[in-house]
Amino acid sequence: MIPERWVLASASPRRRTLIQLLGHPVELLAVSIDEAPAPHEQPTACAARLALAKAAAGARLAPDALVLAADTVVDLNGAILGKPEGMQEARAMLQALRGCPHHVHTAVALYNPWRDELLLEVATTQVWMRSYTDEEIEVYLATGDPLDKAGAYAIQHPGFQPARMVEGCYAAVVGLPLCHLARALRRWGWSPPEDLPTRCQSTLEHVCSVYPDILAGGGNRRSKSPAGQEAP
């Protein structure tokens, strides 16, 4: 059992668009936490910790609601690329990613007050960037889009289109792995729409081959813990 009231602890318009595909009303609740990585923190651990922190912050503001939160980390050979602090850092990130493969880890944390329980899903997707030019970087920087994105890019940006290939959940790179979220909710007795994968692919204009495995429980990490304890 889960509460009827759902809250998304995020101000991200991309996550707002994706979560609406679940077909359940969701309130938006922006939370503020320190998103700086801890010293020597691994990328997946960082994404999980921050998602759990956002869920905890949301639960304090909406104690009667099912709280959903997410965090995305770009991982370039073990180095965490967060949101750039300015154009210079954004430029450096895009240059470092150019022509290279990297991983994107998006953690989703859910808090159910009726069960006093947290669920955590971590989706990892490998992305190969194309060899875009310095001129293309400058044009993209001029849009201002990179400044609120982990790794300084939006994979779905229609003008820049930075990626040439993706292996894994594309929605996770956008910011919210819907199938991971759906299978977590299913553990609490909520049934996702049968056409959720179709809705996601249509919205993102991306053909997905991994959703059957994810919805069946395969791929990437799942865990749960009582409230107040960080999931491993």
Residue ranges and CATH numbers for the domains of the chain are 6-226 (3.90.950.10)
Confidence of residue 218 (pLDDT cuts 50, 70, 90): confident
In this prediction the pTM is: 0.91
Number of other residues whose CB lies within 10 A of the CB of residue 180? 27
List pLDDT tens digits, range 62-106: 999 999 999 999 999 999 998 999 999 999 999 999 999 999 999
Backbone angles phi, psi at 219, to 5 degrees: 75, 125
The rounded distance, in Å, linking the Cα atoms of 187 and 177 is 16
The confidence score (pLDDT) of residue 230 equals 40
DSSP calls for 35-95 = -PPPTT--HHHHHHHHHHHHHHHHHHH-TTSEEEEEEEEEEETTEEE---SSHHHHHHHHH
Contact 106, 212 (CB under 8 A): no
Mean pLDDT computed over 42-68: 96
The rounded distance, in Å, linking the Cα atoms of 97 and 160 is 14
Contact 83, 148 (CB under 8 A): yes
The rounded distance, in Å, linking the Cα atoms of 193 and 184 is 14
- Alpha helices by DSSP H, the chain: 13-19, 43-61, 87-97, 134-142, 170-174, 178-186, 196-204, 211-215
Mean pLDDT computed over 141-168: 95
The confidence score (pLDDT) of residue 221 equals 54
Mean pLDDT computed over 158-182: 96
List pLDDT tens digits, range 97-127: 999 999 999 999 999 999 999 999 999 999 9
Residues acting as catalytic residues = 71
Scanning the structure block, which residue is given the tokens 């020597």?
A: 40
Average pLDDT, the chain: 92
Amino acid at 78: G
Number of other residues whose CB lies within 10 A of the CB of residue 139? 13
